[in-house]
Structure 1
Amino acid sequence: MSNYPLSYKLSWLPRLLRPSLAGDRDGFAAPAATLIDPQPTRKVRLAFVGDISAVANRDAPECDPAIAALLSSADLVVGNCESPIVERPRAAIGTWLGTHHAMRERFLADALATAGIARDRLVLSLANNHVLDQGIAGFEETLAALNRLGIRTIGTVAGGPVQRHAAGSLTIGFAAFTLWRNTDAAPFEERISMRSDPAEWPRNASGIDLLCAVPHWDWEFRHFPRPATRALARRLADRGAQLIAGHHAHVLQPIERIGDSFVAYGLGDFLGTAFARLPWPARVGSIFVVDVSADPATRGAIAAYKMHFFMRLRAGSHERLVPVEALDGAPKSRVTDRLATIFPALRN
């Protein structure tokens, strides 16, 4: 059985149909900042994207050249693999209804190529509630597919609570976990990290230039994180997570600065993960770009960050990813108005 509270379950459909702007709006940072001035001579660029799935796509998406150029400029792209990668869904009815996720290996490969994401510069988290949607065999098939594609993973129990990956000349430690699961505890927790308590993480960070948490947290279709989520972010920051990039809300959420740490609570979906037809706020996402110093004096320090907003538009059997600034008319106005509510500095 899943571990969602009853109040969460009862509110899911209303919030899906009408994503909420309710909640505490205090204390959030601007969507862009330069933190080291002058900028370091040597930098490593990280690009974080949201949830990735083929649920709303029969074919690979189209991607605006500006988005592909941005992603191809990154030394490392980090995202959440929201769907098991299988050739034939085992939960056939649930997959058809959209309650169970699945995507094919060819779809993922084509989508990454279109988006300008090199497989050897990609890290995907498997710590999410849908990862066992196609059963344990589907999970094993997913691991095999990602291995064939040459894509690195985080968020598995086998990899440990903090997993190291190279990004340019830096080593990034990733602590990926999920608060939510869609299946019984035993088979899930044997495979997928739910270790959200940073006190359980290794204290020895030797050789890690930057510690990054990748949590699957909060409640879906809410633009502002719940108090419990913000409290967890503070615990993560207090234990040394300098960068926190979250998933699961399926809508954009704000950025918060906690001391020297930065939290992007939710990046929305990178590729549609619920249904082909969704309310427009659930089709707005962001690429969170973070430049990290590789200079000896400031190695591992965050030099700058920026949110790059885009919208997923329907195009027959697939989606088109378009920068918000390329929209026009009423769609652009309503998107920019909502972004200014989530990120008030955009009004300035």
Structure 2
Amino acid sequence: MSISMLAVSCASHDVTQDTAPAETNEAPVNVDELSEAAGSIATEEGSTAPSEETQPAKDNSEAAGAEVTVSFVGDLTLTQDVNVRNSICFDAVVGSDLDYCFQNCKEVFEKDDLTLANLENAVTDRKTHATKQFVFAMKPDNLEMLTRASIEAVNIANNHTKDYLLEGLEDTRKNLDEHGIIWSDQYYGAVYEVKGVKIGMFGLSNNGNTSQGFALIDQLKEKNCDIIIATCHWGVEARYEETADQRNLGRALIDHGADIVVGGHPHRLQPIEYYNGHYIIYSLSNFCFGGNNKLSDPDSVIIQCKFIMDETGGNCVDYRLKVIPYAQTSTRPGNDFCPKPYEWGSEDYYRCLKRLEWSTEDE
């Protein structure tokens, strides 16, 4: 198996409308202050025009007829709020056991070709943080939880990766790089190659918009990506239905060339839409969430998409989804930060499928 990683950059200052409440205590990102991703290729700020760099023709022979399975999981907050310290908080329950949280799903992730999660916390040892209701920063050494569980990639375009300001964001990127974890956001896409298939990834957060997404898709196409995954941090918290803004953005990204759109932020499962031959997963809910000691809704899922290449290896011609219903905790009530699969055919199992408006676990 040949695997490589490359980051590409995109910057945008466009104003956007978001369905989630704005965080007035957090200043807009100044793109000029952001450090470049390791191995990134800078482009003219705000430009959506193709770069002048000529890409070599892609050898598709290895990808001919390939089937690539990507697992998607929702929000990971591998810590507790900065002001919470008690016997049932994340750090107290998990302690130094780096295998604890993902012991019931590691085998699933090890069997796929790529696992992509939404990392909803900064990764830094800094103490100075934003003034806001919830502030999350995990210990850098705890990133080994992800590598041990075969979670290779994370989206960091969300409302918590700047909890420790721009310095904390730079720390987050640096620490992910040092642990070999692929990351992408609304400024940098990432490319991961497996079985000769190039998978491009990017994220959009509350301050992301359609033109920003289009620019990243265009740049990933320039990098000869066979598959493009868009991760969107959007919607309204505690809502089980997607908003019109989510639908409009998700469909626009598909129309512009994304192969699949995966959403998070509402902390609830939301429907899967099949649109123009592609899937839009509006919300995966939380998966391992240290932000709450009690869960008002424990339902979650692992969703796997099998991308099937044609016999030339030049085009992805089919998509197959598999839904695996999970609880965010192994013990109820409460939250022990150890996701566990629901028993097949149980009431809990079918409730997850109903939330997704999905008739069966495979399609």
The answer to whether the superposition gives a TM-score over 0.5 is yes
In the alignment, is residue 173 of structure 1 matched against residue 237 of structure 2? no
The one-letter code sitting in structure 2 at the alignment partner of 1:99 is F
**Structure 2: how far apart are the matches of 1:64 and 1:133?**
25
Shift in Å, 1:218: 0.9
Shift in Å, 1:317: 8.6
In the alignment, is residue 42 of structure 1 matched against residue 66 of structure 2? yes
In the alignment, is residue 77 of structure 1 matched against residue 112 of structure 2? no
Partner residue, 1:322: 340
Question: Paired residue for 2:264, among 240, 247, 266?
Answer: 247
Contact 2:306 2:320 survives alignment (8 Å): yes
TM-score, scaled to structure 2: 0.69
Question: Paired residue for 1:140, among 149, 159, 170?
Answer: 170
**Structure 1: how far apart are the matches of 2:352 and 2:72?**
21
Shift in Å, 1:42: 2.8
Which shifted more, 237-246 or 198-207?
198-207
Q: Deviations over 1:253-293 (max 9, x none)?
A: 121111121111111112105322221x2x22111101112
The one-letter code sitting in structure 2 at the alignment partner of 1:106 is D
Question: Paired residue for 1:292, among 307, 311, 329?
Answer: 307
Residue 337 of structure 2 aligns to a residue whose secondary structure is strand
**Structure 2: how far apart are the matches of 1:41 and 1:312?**
36
Question: In proportion to residue count, which structure has more helix?
Answer: 1
Which shifted more, 166-175 or 75-84?
166-175
Query: Which structure 1 residue ranges, 5 or more long, are not aligned?
Result: 10-39, 181-193
Residue 271 of structure 1 aligns to a residue whose secondary structure is strand
Partner residue, 2:150: 117
Q: How does 1:171-250 map to 2 (within 5 A)?
A: 171-180=198-207, 194-197=208-211, 198-201=213-216, 203=218, 205-206=221-222, 207-250=224-267
Shift in Å, 1:167: 3.3
- Cα 1:89–1:73, aligned 2, differ >3 Å: closer, same or farther? farther
The one-letter code sitting in structure 1 at the alignment partner of 2:239 is R
Q: Which has the higher contact order (CA 8 A, sep 6+)?
A: 1
Shift in Å, 1:237: 1.3
Shift in Å, 1:163: 3.5
**Structure 2: how far apart are the matches of 1:245 and 1:144?**
25
Partner residue, 2:184: 154
- Size of the aligned set, in residue pairs, is 286
**Structure 2: how far apart are the matches of 1:291 and 1:73?**
12
**Structure 1: how far apart are the matches of 2:79 and 2:104?**
24
Contact 1:255 1:263 survives alignment (8 Å): yes
Question: Paired residue for 1:107, among 125, 128, 142?
Answer: 142
The one-letter code sitting in structure 2 at the alignment partner of 1:147 is D
The one-letter code sitting in structure 1 at the alignment partner of 2:206 is L
**Structure 2: how far apart are the matches of 1:245 and 1:117?**
19
Contact 1:55 1:274 survives alignment (8 Å): yes
Shift in Å, 1:117: 1.1
Contact 2:269 2:352 survives alignment (8 Å): no
- Cα 1:66–1:275, aligned 2, differ >3 Å: closer, same or farther? closer
TM-score, scaled to structure 1: 0.72
RMSD, aligned CA = 3.2
Shift in Å, 1:141: 1.5
Residue 338 of structure 2 aligns to a residue whose secondary structure is strand
In the alignment, is residue 277 of structure 1 matched against residue 294 of structure 2? yes
Contact 2:186 2:202 survives alignment (8 Å): no
Q: Deviations over 1:6-58 (max 9, x none)?
A: 9948xxxxxxxxxxxxxxxxxxxxxxxxxxxxxx9531111111111123521
Contact 1:246 1:265 survives alignment (8 Å): yes
Partner residue, 1:267: 284
Shift in Å, 1:137: 1.8
**Structure 1: how far apart are the matches of 2:140 and 2:356?**
35
Shift in Å, 1:139: 1.4
Shift in Å, 1:249: 1.3
**Structure 2: how far apart are the matches of 1:338 and 1:163?**
31
Residue 191 of structure 2 aligns to a residue whose secondary structure is strand
